[in-house]
Structure 1
């Protein structure tokens, strides 16, 4: 999110020391903290599970809409290949981001 530790602590209503203990995995944040950070864009699902919150399908960018239309226009076997390819890239990104 680009926030400094002190800024996150202030938004979350905790001390900088408490924020540091969250980051070192020594303590767990409570719901009020997560709710406050969510209000400024924190992906709470990612913090809790390590999995990103999926973007709602209804909010596709123009480029994404073009990709979906092109995907739907190709034969089923090719769609399957595209899905495998995209999954392989997503798996690689997930593996390298941990």
Structure 2
């Protein structure tokens, strides 16, 4: 679980939390927090649930992949676009990605 421990520390630092504060949020001792971050122990689900509420990306901790949006944060139009994108052939997805990137880049330079 070496990579998990590295990601845990990375998330804590990203949130600007001291190890003692992260430990308190997770309901563990500072020593336990250090053991998690050193890969000596793995946290229980209660810890993960508690730190997730504070903003830790638990999916990232477990998989190494970031979740950019929660499904319930999308409005109906965004959800429709995402569903349409997911059902498109791969080449159409690539074209839509190029268009969206071009539009976003253009907006950023205005």
- The residue that corresponds to 2:95 in the other structure is 79
- Within 5 Å, which residues of 2 pair with 1:23-38? 23-38=37-52
TM-score (norm 2): 0.53
Distance 1:57 1:35, change over 3 A: closer
Aligned: 1:51 with 2:65: yes
Larger % of helix: which? 2
Pick the aligned partner of 1:17 from 31, 45, 49: 31
Q: Unpaired segments of 5 or more residues in structure 1?
A: 69-75, 86-98
Give aligned pairs, total: 72
Q: Which runs of 5+ in 2 are unaligned?
A: 1-14, 82-91, 102-110
RMSD: 3.0
Q: Quick one: distance in 1 between partners of 2:93 and 2:53?
A: 42
Q: Extract structure 1 runs of 4+ deviating beyond 2 A.
A: 56-60, 80-83
Shift, 1:56, TM fit? 3.6
Q: 1:11 to 1:58 in 2, by over 3 A?
A: closer
Residue 39 of structure 1: CA displacement? 1.1
